[in-house]
Amino acid sequence: MSDMLSYAKIVKNIGVDPRYQKSKLCYNPFPAIPVFSLYCPDTSSLCTTATTIFPVKAKKLENILRRAVQSTKSTIIFIEGSQGIGKSHFLGEVATNCEFLGLFPIFCQIYTGGGFSDITDRALQWLGLEGYTQLMLSFVKAIGLSELEIFQKNPYTIFHELIPMFQHAFNMQDRKVLERILRPFLNLDIGYSALFQTSHKYKNLILVTLIHLIWKTLSKKTLLVIDNLENRWPYFTTLNKAHFLSNMKIFVNSTNGKVIMMLSDDGQISKYLIRELKDINVELSIQRLKLPRLTIAKSIKLVSEYLQIARIPQKKNYNLHPFTRESIKFIYNISNGNTRTFLVLCHDILEEYVKSDHSKITVNGTRKSLS
């Protein structure tokens, strides 16, 4: 941080309530808004909730999803917002908590220019070995077999028996795709891992087939959340973008209303994709939701949740708030309403001054309690 934005100049005469030390509160919490892992977002460690930062948008999105669940159209929802505003947080929480709407969630974060083959890998990682196993067993139960029948038989035998049964029950002719999906029954660890070694062509087919099976066996649409697209898009070559668009068209046409796609957006990606998706063969519903910048009122709630969840050990109930309203406003102005920057500043200030003897984090030497 530059001299102009040094902690001493951000907040003068700064301090932390001494009870923080006496209560042995956390000095090194997880990041304010954690970067999601390569596998899936750990929303259990998020400091805040979507209803705290974006209550109106969260309710609006819930209504959009309810309508999309009932609709026969394919639905694409773009979640727009500036970098650091909380899109990943928002999308991760939606993916984790949407099952009450009758949706089967899959969360993906794009890290490369691999397009939809990358998305398939992330989808498998989101499910994980245990989740994938449970999904396979749900498929098997749908054709009238029990877990006991499955595990009493030789893995090789049951694998080859399942393929024609699935083809007949679900009217699926592509045996090779079903073999790849059901291969974990031969050897769970090896079979699941082998899915990641599948060619790009079959990865796309695997994702489409999984969505159809989820629809036919669980009677649920899939909510496919694609995060981090706006951060990777500037690095896509023209060929990357063409492949992504081509695969997206095939995906939307192939799933035909059985999936709701939710994509992170910077305002430009949605314009490009909407323009290019006009010639697809299915009815398409496009929804756009723009996340607003943080307000001072919400920043106060945000700090309260951050202190309670990130800085205080579990099973302890402390009502401590070392920030005055003036200091929160000051930090808010410096962060320019950016959620991530705001929380990171709060975190760093507490880390810097957690051992001081002052009772409140203040501005300009005042020591006013937070009203």
Q: Are residues 265 and 322 both part of a single domain? A: no
Question: Count of CB atoms within 10 A of residue 207's CB?
Answer: 26
Residues 107 and 15 in one domain: no
Would 78 be classed as within a structural domain?
yes
Cα–Cα dist 170/165, whole Å = 8
Which backbone phi and psi does 226 adopt, to 5 degrees?
-115, 110
Q: Taking Cα atoms as reference points, which of 264, 311, 297, 225 lies closest to residue 32?
A: 311
329: in domain:
yes
For 81, list phi and psi in degrees, rounded to 5.
180, 155
The answer to whether residues 328 and 342 touch, using CB atoms and an 8 Å cutoff, is: no
One digit per residue, the tens of pLDDT, for the chain of length 371 reads: 333 334 444 433 333 343 434 333 333 332 333 333 444 444 444 445 666 778 888 889 999 999 999 999 999 999 998 888 888 888 888 888 888 899 999 988 877 655 667 788 888 888 888 888 888 888 888 888 887 777 777 878 888 888 898 888 888 888 888 888 888 777 766 667 777 777 777 888 888 999 999 999 999 999 999 988 888 888 888 888 888 888 889 899 999 899 999 999 999 999 999 999 988 888 899 999 999 888 888 888 777 776 665 555 554 555 556 677 778 888 888 888 888 788 778 777 776 665 555 555 555 444 433 33
User: Whats the size of the chain, residue-wise?
Assistant: 371
Q: Are residues 216 and 344 in the same domain?
A: no
Claim to verify: residue 252 and residue 136 sit in the same structural domain: yes
Where do we find the tokens 């095939």?
A: 250
Residue 203 sits in the same domain as residue 332: no
Instruction: Looking at the structure, tell me whether residues 81 and 174 fall in a common domain.
Output: yes
* Number of Cβ within a 10 Å radius of residue 167: 14
Closest CA to 39 of 90, 76, 92: 92
In this structure, the number of other CB atoms found within 10 A of the CB of residue 22 comes to 8
Q: What total number of domains does the chain contain? A: 2
> Which domain-ending residue is among 266, 290, 314?
290
CATH classification at residue 113 = 3.40.50
Range of the domain at 12: 3-36+296-353
Asked if residue 232 is part of any domain, the answer here is yes
308 and 269 housed in the same domain: no
Reading the block at residue 121, the tokens are 């890998």
For residues 328 and 187, membership in a common domain is answered with no
Residue after which a domain boundary falls, among 264, 290, 316: 290
In a domain, 73, yes or no: yes
- Domain-located, residue 42: no
364 assigned to some structural domain: no
The CA-based dihedral angle spanning residues 226, 227, 228, 229, taken in that order and rounded to the nearest 10 degrees: 30
One domain, residues 13 and 159: no
Q: What is the pTM of this model?
A: 0.79
Same domain, 111 and 241: yes
